[in-house]
Structure 1
Amino acid sequence: MATFESLLRVAGHQGEASLKGSSFVWKDNRKIRTDRNIVLSVKEVIAVKQGQVEITSNKKISVNSGNFFTVFYVKRVKQQKWTVARVLFAAETFELSCYWTRLLQEHMQYYGETRPEKLLVFINPFGGRRQGKNIYNSQIASLFELAGVSTTVVETAKANHARDYLLEEDLQGYDGVICVGGDGMFSELMHGLIGRAQKDAGIPENDPDAEYVSPTLRIGIIPAGSTDCICFATVGVNDPVTSALHIIIGDTQPLDVCGVYREEQLLKYSVSLVGYGFYADVLSDSDKHRWMGPVRYDYAGVKMVLSNRSYEGTVQFQLAEDSATSPRDNTRCRAGCLVCSDSTEVLPIEGELESQLWDSTETINGWKSVTGSFVAINLTCMSSACPKSPDGLSPCAHLADGTADLIMVRKCSRFHFLRHLSRHTNKKDQFDLPFVEVHRVKALRFIPLDHEETNSKSVSKQKNFFKRICKGSQTQSAWNCDGELLPYSTIDVKVHRQLIKLFARGIEEHSPSPTNSSCCF
């Protein structure tokens, strides 16, 4: 697109403005302080409006005419958090201001082909902090209006309302679906879209070896839940406005999905955690104490650490074919990650590449097999980071490389397991312990020992004191699948590469914002 230049004023000061490609630059003619200059990428411009436009305190848009045009854009404020910034330009004539407005809007459209025009929004008024409706109405709706994004809002009234809607209703004309809620709400949208895509394509979901079709619609997450793990791991912060801005500018982040199966029957899809043992036991116990609110998870966690349960079984897994990456290679999946892209290039790897196998590991028909007693078996397609654990279960996990990280924690003392858990919060290597093993895999099977064989030894013996507190033992656990309990022990898991897409770009590296502007002279 052609370059255009003219003189414009900002806060009464004249400067040279130029629009070349996706770059819009205004340079203060006084040349006293270069930090007064404005450099914007039209890819991150939210809206350009004719006149003097502002969003008032009640989130309404106010417009005054004149030789002005207003540019709203993304501003990085700290770490991964974004906000909306505004700069007012004054042209010499009304016609020139109109021309700049039209030209910038054309460039936004040209370079923003992935921006959504119409969204289907689901609000969960009961999930997490019960603030979903208030967050959307007070912080998000006005941003979508400002950006010219039309919305259809559905307030969910029951469990699986959003999933069933996506499976059955007409979705033509929408560019994406948005969940205002927590990880549970996201799971509903994910299951609905994946199920609808397979249904329309005539692909059986119960066949783990089938070539699944990716949904065409992207999912956006406006965080309003208790943990919002998926939002945190893909955006880097749980902030509703930041997430809304990623949606508005049309960011796209593919995401791997684990399919969980049992006896040739699909049980669930997962992106953040498929966990047996500790995390499933915590979830099961916390459900009995919902009246406690979010603190119930801490309460149940303490109980499970004290109980020190372990479960016997056989873990079978297929290692990832790409030996260039490892769960312990000290890299991080970030925005523009080459490992997750379709590029033939790979990131330079530092540190140890080979996963260390326990001596008891066997290989049968391409499957590694480990039999033992485990405190926890965890599989994750992402870091599973959250505010309480900024690095997550597996800090080096990738979002879209077709693999998941398998973490096996062998039977150990309460003290040693607590050491492992504490390293999720203090940035120490949680895998650098003799009873912990981690692998990058593409498939998993778990087979528990039967009840008769394990009844007397599948759970560590407990002192009477802890036994009274934790109400005894059990011989088999269940699976925690993204916060939902699956009441089975024997399962198969397969990683489906880049099965869904989010309105996100991955976590950006900490760096100064490419936008350098000031409107307060």
Structure 2
Amino acid sequence: MASSDSSAQGPHDMALILDQSVSLTLGTDSLLIEGMTGCIRPIASRDSPNRQITALVAKQTVVVVGCSSLVNPKTTHAISLYNILGAEVTASNLVVAYAEPTAKDDISVTTVQYPIAEKEKKAVDSWVQKLLEQAYGKALIGKRLKILVNPFGGKGTAASLYQTYAAPVFAAAKCQVDVEHTTHRGHAIDIAENLDIDAYDAVVCCSGDGLPYEVFNGLGKRPDAHKALTQTAITLLPCGSGNGLTWNSFGTGSVSIAALGIVKGLRTPLDLVSISQKDSRTLSFLSQSFGIVAECDLATENIRWMGAQRFTYGFLVRLMRQTIWPCDIAVKVEIGDKAAIKEHYAAWSTRPEEPDSDSKRLEAAALSPGLPELKYGGVTDDLPQDWDTIPGETMGNFYAGNMAIMSKDTNMFPATLPNDGLMDVVTIDGRVSRGTAITMMNEIPSGRFFDMPELILRKASAFRLTPHQREGYISIDGERVPFEAFQAEVHQGLGTILTKSGRLYEAEGPR
């Protein structure tokens, strides 16, 4: 017989007793199952999503309904509430679906269920609602997801990666999915521009960072751009080379773990950057680069088969040449030294959360639906007098970004925050020795890159860069744009993404 008992538990605990042989205790951060594990139902195999397999909870012995095998019922199993995907009462069973870790960088969907009688359903229903409330917290249950799959990105495996590793997670979490494959470059721009934003909670890109770039810009082309960018969260399943958005949001390069992150993801405001050139205005969510980083990214398109290693290869090749990229640079500096930047990060990351901040954002966007006006004008306008000019005749690398992690093991800019209205502007002189440059690259995973004196870092709200050469590469979010002067300006909290924390990137901050 099922019963709910919270008298002997902590303030957030509640135990469900099933037939006096099994208890499911809902704790602060985990679901504790004691006694017989119950019936483990078939789930989709990762090798073949349509083939049914039977899974066990860890190494526990189980009772399978309809089978005669009954083994030691004295078992205990703890499931993190973050891993709980769904729970429901069917005609005759309590069913709980969760993400079971199967490897260091992978999870699979497992369901456990227990038979219940009709008279027990009311108590079990109440317990299920409590379980879901605690398992999801502030995250939206049953998200409505527009899935965009780029079958050509990265190594061309996005479709199979989605179907094998993400689709079962979304199904177990009762997400409503609408899957569409992109067919050509720029297709996601058209899709986002014409999207029914009231029909979806998030757009999920199965790709590298190129598809989110297109979606942000498609939403930015709409008459209600401000509303669309605020209302619609954009997120990424890592199916490309860099996958920066996933690493920052969920701290992983795993498709299945990222899918769990999306299910449990919290709406998070994201600063977007307007990029103005002579004849255009686009939006950037990740980075703007000129010099060796842009070259490593864009000039290695022909070796995409190498995956993320192509960036390292491109860096080493160009390092040996000790190339410089002369340019004119002007920056609207807001914080000019590393010590003050560390203080800013500490203060911002520990500030109290503002109540109903998301509702206020949505209200403001509805009142002013279009893209924000450019505070500093475009790249062809006069340069504001209060901007700082930076020597650029021997520029080796110019990088500006509003995310901390560029790809796996590249937490290059740990002081970056999603929504402080500032971007990190980094300059490195091209005359540094080969040995120093290699040391800098090797210090990125260690976290000491930030403090190296060769790296000049400023927090800025805008900048302008004018190349001196006639040919070269400028990278905006990994996409090539015309090699000409461009100006960047931050719009605080204009965009929306899903993150694990709801306020910070999954990166260790500056020490």
TM-score, normalised by the number of residues in structure 1: 0.70
Q: 1:214 aligned to 2:238?
A: no
CA distance in 1, matches of 2:158, 2:346: 31
The 2-side partners of 1:432 and 1:26 are apart by: 47
- Do residues 227 (structure 1) and 242 (structure 2) align? yes
Q: In the aligned structure 1, how far is the partner of 2:107 from the partner of 2:141?
A: 17
Aligned partner of 2:300 in structure 1 is: 286
1:406 to 414, 425, 430: 425
Distance change >3 Å, CA 263–CA 256, structure 1 → 2: same
1:486 aligns with 2:500: no
Aligned partner of 1:395 in structure 2 is 414
Structure 1 position 216, deviation (Å): 0.8
| Partner SS for 1:503 | strand
1:39 offset after TM fit, Å? 7.3
CA distance change for structure 1 residues 130 and 284 in 2, over 3 Å: closer, same or farther?
Answer: closer
**Match in the other structure for 1:277:** 291
**1:88-237 equivalence runs, <5 A:** 88-89=113-114, 93-97=117-121, 99-101=123-125, 103-105=127-129, 108=132, 114-196=140-222, 199-200=223-224, 214-237=229-252
Whole-angstrom CA distance in 1 between matches of 2:5 and 2:349: 32
Q: What are the superposed Cα offsets for residues 96-133 of structure 1, whole Å, 9 maximum, x if unpaired?
A: 14641465247637956723442211111111121111
Against the structure 1 CA distance between its residues 253 and 82, is the aligned structure 2 distance closer, same or farther, given a 3 Å change threshold?
Answer: farther
Matched, 1:315 2:329: yes
Residue among 427, 446, 450 paired with 2:447: 427
Pick from 435, 438, 444 the counterpart of residue 415 of structure 1.
Answer: 435
* Structure with bigger RCO (C-alpha 8 Å, 6+ apart): 1
Q: CA deviation at 1:304?
A: 1.0
> What is the Cα deviation at residue 159 of structure 1?
0.9
Change in 2 beyond 3 A, CA 1:495/1:99: same
1:184, distance to aligned residue in structure 2 (A) = 1.0
- Kept in 1, the 8 Å contact 2:463–2:487? The answer is yes
- Output aligned runs, 1:46-65, within 5 Å: 46-50=85-89
Using the TM superposition, name which of 480-489 and 372-381 deviates more.
Answer: 480-489
Aligned counterparts of 1:340 and 1:233: Cα–Cα separation in 2: 21
- Separation in 2 of the partners of 1:340 and 1:313? 41
CA contact (8 A) 2:275 2:284 kept: yes
- C-alpha offsets along residues 173-222 of structure 1, whole Å, 9 cap, x if unaligned? 222211111111221222222333xx226x8xxxxxxxx87331112311
**1 CA distance for matches of 2:250 and 2:83?**
16
Q: Does 1:495 align with 2:490?
A: yes
Mapped partners of 1:443, 1:330: distance in 2: 18
Deviation sequence 1:403-434 (CA, Å, 0-9, x none) = 1111110131333323322222343234422x
Runs of 5+ in structure 2 lacking a partner? 7-13, 37-73, 356-382
Is the Cα contact below 8 Å between 1:406 and 1:440 reproduced in 2? yes
Cα distance change of structure 1 residues 18 and 135 upon mapping to structure 2, 3 Å threshold: closer
**Alignment CA distance shift 1:104-1:285 (3 Å):** same
CA contact (8 A) 1:120 1:174 kept: yes
Amino acid aligned to 2:86: A
User: What is the aligned partner in structure 1 of residue 463 from structure 2?
Assistant: 444
Q: Partners in 2 of 1:132 and 1:178 — Cα distance?
A: 12
1:249 is aligned to 264
User: 1:167 Cα shift?
Assistant: 0.7
3-state DSSP of counterpart to 1:215: helix
| SS of residue paired to 1:305 | helix
Query: Offset at 1:502?
Result: 1.7
CA distance, structure 2, for counterparts of residue 248 and residue 293 of structure 1: 27
Which runs of 5 or more residues in structure 1 are unaligned?
52-64, 204-211, 344-362, 452-474, 511-521
CA displacement 1:486-514 (0-9 Å, x = unmatched) = 2224111111212222222245699xxxx
Residue matched to 1:368: 388
Aligned to 2:371: none
Return the letter of the residue paired with 1:164. Answer: D
| CA distance in structure 2 between the aligned counterparts of 1:225 and 1:217, rounded to whole angstroms | 22
What is the match of residue 400 of structure 2?
Answer: 379
**Aligned sequence identity (%):** 18
Letter in 2 for 1:368: D
**Cα distance in 2, alignment partners of residues 431 and 83 from structure 1:** 40
Cα distance change, pair 264–476 in 1 and its aligned pair in 2 (3 A): closer
The answer to whether the 8 A contact 2:88-2:96 is kept is: yes
Give the conservation status (yes or no) of the 8 Å contact 2:16–2:124.
no
What SS is found at the alignment partner of 2:220? helix
Match for 2:317: what amino acid? K
In 2, are the aligned partners of 1:311 and 1:476 still within 8 Å (CA)? no
Q: What CA distance in whole angstroms lies between the structure 1 residues aligned with 2:148 and 2:310?
A: 27
* In 2, Cα distance between equivalents of 1:37 and 1:292: 41
Structure 1 residues 131 and 29: alpha-carbon distance in aligned structure 2, compared to 1, 3 A threshold: closer
Contact 1:178 1:220 in 2 (8 A): yes
Q: Secondary structure at the match of 1:122?
A: strand
Contact 2:138/2:266, CA 8 A, preserved across alignment? no
Residue 291 to residue 28, structure 1, CA distance change in 2 (3 Å): closer
TM-aligned CA distance change 1:7 to 1:173, over 3 Å: closer
AA at the equivalent of 2:287? L
Post-superposition Cα deviations, 1:270-289, rounded to whole Å, max 9, x if no partner, equal: 22221111112223431355
Deviation at 1:439?
0.8
- Tell me which of 65, 71, 93 is aligned to 2:96: 71
Q: Which amino acid aligns with 1:490?
A: A
CA 1:254–1:242: 2 relative to 1, 3 Å: farther
Q: Supply the AA of the counterpart residue of 1:224.
A: C
TM-score w.r.t. the length of structure 2 is 0.71
Residue 311 of structure 1 aligns to a residue whose secondary structure is coil
- Mark the CA change 1:222 to 1:365 in structure 2 (over 3 Å): closer, same or farther: same
